[in-house]
Amino acid sequence: MGYSVALNIKHNTANLNYSKRVQILNYSKTKIVFLRQIIPNFKQY
């Protein structure tokens, strides 16, 4: 019983870490797209 609970906790924390990583990846992707849209505007001035 205690062993399976420990496995579940380990699994859940692994899922949390994974979702955090995915969020960071998505955030950096949107940031790059955002910067690409802004930088050409700066070059015009």
pLDDT tens series, the chain, 45 aa: 577 888 888 888 888 888 888 888 888 888 888 888 877 766 655
pLDDT for 15 equals 86
Structure tokens given for 30 = 């949107």
pLDDT for 11: 83
All structural domains of the chain with their residue ranges? 1-44
Instruction: Please state the pTM of the whole predicted model.
Output: 0.48
CA 33 to chain centre: 15
- Give the H or E element holding residue 45: none
